[in-house]
Amino acid sequence: DVGAVPVTGNIGVRYVHTDQVASGTLTTGNVATPASFPKTFNNWLPSFNLRAELTHDLVARLAASRVLTRPNVTDSAPRITVSTDAPTASGGNPQLVPFLATQFDGSLEWYFNRAGSLTGAVFYKAMDDYITQQNVNIDIPGRGTVLLSTQVNGGDAKVYGVEAAYNQVFTFLPAPFDGLGVQASYTHTSVKASYTAGARPIRDELIGLSKNSANITGFYEKGPISTRLSYVWRDRYLSGTGSTTQAPVYTAPFGSLDGNISVKASDRVTVSLEAINLSGAHLYTYNDKDVRFGEINYWGRTVLFGVRAEF
């Protein structure tokens, strides 16, 4: 207890040892020689979590940790692919090292009744040696100088934001409507980053990270019936950094409406029906600006029928 407030939590540390060997063939003229690039990483990753029960229905949480992300295997592979119609090439970098991040999370959770909660949270993540793309000129025998696109360590980025969530079952409604409920959440994310894609500067953007995202789900759970209808939406995001000669690629805002219903036909048999992308949404991509059209992706609507039985 801290005064009249019960506090629980844990603290710990992980030690991570990694041995990595990237192997390939080094070709000089017509002579091929096996090449190996061994690397060893040792990292200490501390963490702690605290939970404070401020009142019987108000809970605060605080967490901090040091985390590690290893490079993709394909990015570390000693390989190169040379274009046949332009002086360009792409390849891996066996000198890549994992990038580390320090992250903090804090939340406040209000359980306003036995079947409902309202929560708010803030988060912060600082990434070191973030892996980014870079273009360098190299000489290839018989081909001359080409512009090689590869991955390197060296970018720094900070991600921070807020999120809110609401969950409730409407138990106050008269039967059979007391099985109705709703779940909703919203996240706002900001980025501070500065790195390059070749010679092209990238500012305050990370691949796959939307500024805003939200979802809402209506559900009914009572007796043998379980059903849900969900809408998930996210803002535009960077899906490809591009390079010195290629513009970055963005995915436009996208939302999907999905639903499912299941019925217990007996104690041992459940019949279900699920539908994905009920609204028939299309996903659009564009280059640099939304007037520079990229692709339209349409997966149609998917309907799944299933039976689960216990023996």
Q: What is the mean pLDDT of residues 174-182?
A: 95
Q: Where are the beta strands (DSSP E) in the chain?
A: 7-28, 31-55, 58-69, 80-82, 88-91, 99-113, 116-140, 144-169, 180-197, 200-203, 212-222, 225-234, 237-240, 249-251, 254-264, 269-276, 283-287, 293-297, 302-309
Is the omega angle on the peptide bond into residue 176 within 30 degrees of 0, that is, cis? yes
**122 pLDDT above the threshold of 80:** yes
Which of 26-35, 132-141, 161-170, 189-198 tops mean pLDDT? 161-170
The reported pLDDT for the residue numbered 182 is 98
Q: What are residue 230's phi and psi, to 5 degrees?
A: -125, 140
The reported pLDDT for the residue numbered 27 is 75
182 vs 35, higher pLDDT:
182
Reference 27, options 91, 70, 111, 71; nearest CA is: 91
Half-sphere exposure of 77 (CA within 13 A, CB side): 9
**Least reliable range by pLDDT among 107-116, 128-137, 212-221:** 128-137
Instruction: Say which amino acid occupies 162.
Output: V
pLDDT digits (tens, 9 = 90+) for 188-212: 999 998 877 767 788 898 889 999 9
The reported pLDDT for the residue numbered 227 is 97
pLDDT above 90 covers a percentage of the chain that reads: 63
Query: Could you tell me which residues are beta bridge partners of residue 36?
Result: 23
Q: What is the mean pLDDT of residues 50-55?
A: 96
131 vs 239, higher pLDDT:
239
> pTM (2 decimals)?
0.83
Cα distances (angstroms) measured from residue 77 to each of 38, 95, 145: 12, 9, 21
pLDDT tier for residue 62 given thresholds of 50, 70 and 90: very high
Q: What is the mean pLDDT of residues 257-263?
A: 97
Can you list the alpha helix ranges (DSSP code H) found in the chain? 73-76
**184 pLDDT above the threshold of 80:** yes
pLDDT above 70 covers a percentage of the chain that reads: 99
The reported pLDDT for the residue numbered 142 is 75
Rounded Cα distance between 121 and 134, Å, is: 36
Contacts 24+ apart (CB under 8 A), 95-98: 95/37, 95/39, 96/71, 96/131, 96/151, 96/152, 96/153, 97/39, 97/41, 97/71, 97/129, 97/153, 98/18, 98/41, 98/43, 98/68, 98/69, 98/70, 98/71, 98/129
pLDDT digits (tens, 9 = 90+) for 21-40: 999 887 777 888 898 999 99
Residue 98: DSSP 8-state? -
Residue 178: DSSP 8-state? G
pLDDT tier for residue 152 given thresholds of 50, 70 and 90: confident
Q: What is the mean pLDDT of residues 91-101?
A: 89
pLDDT tier for residue 163 given thresholds of 50, 70 and 90: very high
Q: What is the mean pLDDT of residues 270-289?
A: 94
The reported pLDDT for the residue numbered 147 is 83
**Least reliable range by pLDDT among 192-196, 234-238, 278-282:** 192-196
Say if strands 144-169 and 88-91 run parallel, antiparallel, or are unpaired. parallel
List all residues 6 or more positions away from 289 whose beta carbon is below 8 Å from its beta carbon: none
Q: What is the mean pLDDT of residues 44-65?
A: 97
Say if strands 200-203 and 180-197 run parallel, antiparallel, or are unpaired. antiparallel
